[in-house]
Amino acid sequence: MSRDTNIVMLMVDQWRADSFGIEGHPVVETPNIDMLFEQGTVFDRAYAAVPSCIAARASLLTGLNHRRHGRVGYHPEVSWDYPFTLASVLADAGYLCHAVGKMHVWPARRRMGFHDVDLHDGYTIDERRKLDNFDQVDDYRTWLRLRSHAEADIVDAALGCNGYDVRPWPMDDRLHPNAWAVSRSVDFLRRRDPTMPFFLKVSFHRPHPPIDPPQWALDRYRDVTVPPLVQADWNDRDAPPRPGYFLDSPVPTSPTAIDRARRGYYAQLTAIDHELNRLVQALTEHNLLQTTAFVLVGDHGEMLYDHWRVAKNLPYEASARVPMMMRLPGRPHEVRRSSAVVELMDVLPTLCDVAGVEPPDAADGHSMLPLTAGDASSVRDVLHGEHFNWAFSSEVDDDNQWVTDGRYKYVWFPRSGREQLFDLATDPTECNDLAPDGGPVLERLRGELVTALDGREEGYVAVGELVVGRQGRATLEEAGIMTEAQAKGQRDMLAWIAAKASS
């Protein structure tokens, strides 16, 4: 395409890929997103290779695979020192680059190549507990207090930022973080330099908890019949839905509370969809809609009590598969669907392609633009994913490694050696584990995982075989992004965990 094309990236946090009207969900209402991307391409096999906030955003912003950007688990406060980012590449090509909402980088005010950032990372508990003035790392709260009252705060709904209790937003709808993100984006459209093409990243903290949608959105789902939970024989109902705990973020397990959490989650989606229409209206009023490319993308999914789990970090479709949709100016007004296996690192080269800019040679991702024109060829044969999960008990077996070719998914748990295999074509909710039967598919995908992990610093592979019991880590030292003190701190923590788990 060309450098006259404006780009709007709509980024959502913890939004399941199956939970849109355009995806055929039986109850979720997303009419504005559906309308926008019924004139675009929906990627049915888009994944976050490391499905948690920080690692996923590193892949998206750098175009690097997780082995090269180094983040293979959740590890905040590791500096984001990368030679290029999506925004820096577009800025160098003459784009005005602006970000609104969640960044989740370190230091928190790092712009990552954007000319300006209106920042709201959510509760940002890592920073909030360490700073005298939280406004140093959050623009939303200052805005909120100017429009509400001097002591208004993000936590006024009395919900934790990782919990699954539900309460309607306690203030005016216009003061919700969703509304703030769109209002700041509309203000950017008004104030921008009209002689420059722009890249606008609008990043919502929701539907990530807290589950605090406006009352009207909760009312939409009060009387609907929600789909049943996905449960399988291999689910461990004796374990908690989320190993470990946050004292301020309970995960209730009664049938009534689970039902309330799921309805509240769906209400979060509809509330965001409603706000997005204000952005589309503003683009229309500025005569920008027909020259603007849209991409909607999520950082990871949400288990939402399926398989008796919540949140992310897991290899299953509800967690690792992400929303990925594109609408390009000048394309036919019809929805295309692509079954190619794509990943968040593919966004950087794709948007470079949209802008008519050469992506950096060092980027690992591949442009998805040919797929939007109906090219049925594959971007890759297999995708490797993983997530290291900090665990303080030998009974927690959550560290995971996985590969998928789009049809089958193979999962390996390094601590125990447990394996799973799913046929995603016939079993999209991953209820029927084929691994106990073995067979050539299992052997082939296990071999793909051996290839992906060969030479890794954890020692997952030896003499061409997977090695059970190796200690994982959240950040790879080989990537060179940690200070020596951070690397030593991680080694010491892992040694302490290993000793505690074996005691």
CA–CA gap between residue 137 and residue 141 (Å, rounded)? 10
Homologous superfamily of 6-372: Alkaline Phosphatase, subunit A (3.40.720.10)
Beta-strand ranges (E) seen in 406-483 are 408-413, 418-423, 461-462, 465-466
pLDDT tens per residue across span 170-228: 999 999 999 999 999 999 999 999 999 999 999 999 999 999 999 999 999 999 999 99
The reply to whether omega before 255 is within 30° of 0 (cis) is: no
Q: Where are the beta strands (DSSP E) in 313-454?
A: 324-327, 336-343, 383-387, 400-404, 408-413, 418-423
CA distance linking residue 178 with residue 181, whole number of Å: 5
Q: What is the pLDDT along the chain (503 residues), one digit of tens a residue?
A: 667 899 999 999 999 999 999 999 999 999 999 999 999 999 999 999 999 999 999 999 999 999 999 999 999 889 999 999 999 999 999 999 999 999 999 988 999 999 999 999 986 555 556 666 666 788 999 999 999 988 888 888 889 889 999 999 999 999 999 999 999 999 999 999 999 999 999 999 999 999 999 999 999 999 999 999 999 999 988 888 887 667 778 899 999 999 999 999 999 999 999 999 999 999 999 999 999 999 999 999 999 999 999 999 999 999 999 999 999 998 776 789 999 999 999 999 999 999 999 999 999 999 999 999 888 777 899 999 999 998 756 667 889 999 999 999 999 999 999 999 999 999 999 999 999 998 999 999 999 999 999 999 999 999 999 999 999 999 999 999 999 999 999 999 999 888 877 77
Model-level pTM?
A: 0.96
Cα–Cα distance, 334 to 37 (Å, whole number):
9
pLDDT at 64: 98
**Which residues are annotated as catalytic?**
53, 104
Domain boundaries, the chain: 6-372, 392-502
Say how far apart CA 275 and CA 4 lie, in whole Å.
27
- Reported as a single tens digit per residue, the pLDDT across 6-51 is 999 999 999 999 999 999 999 999 999 999 999 999 999 999 999 9
Three-state DSSP at 458 gives coil
495 to 76, 77, 87, 112, 219: CA distances (angstroms): 19, 20, 38, 33, 49
Tokens matching residue 82: 């990368």
* Whole-number pLDDT of residue 245: 62
For residue 79, give the DSSP letter: -
Nearest by Cα to 83 from 350, 360, 357, 299: 360
CATH no. of 392-502? 3.30.1120.10
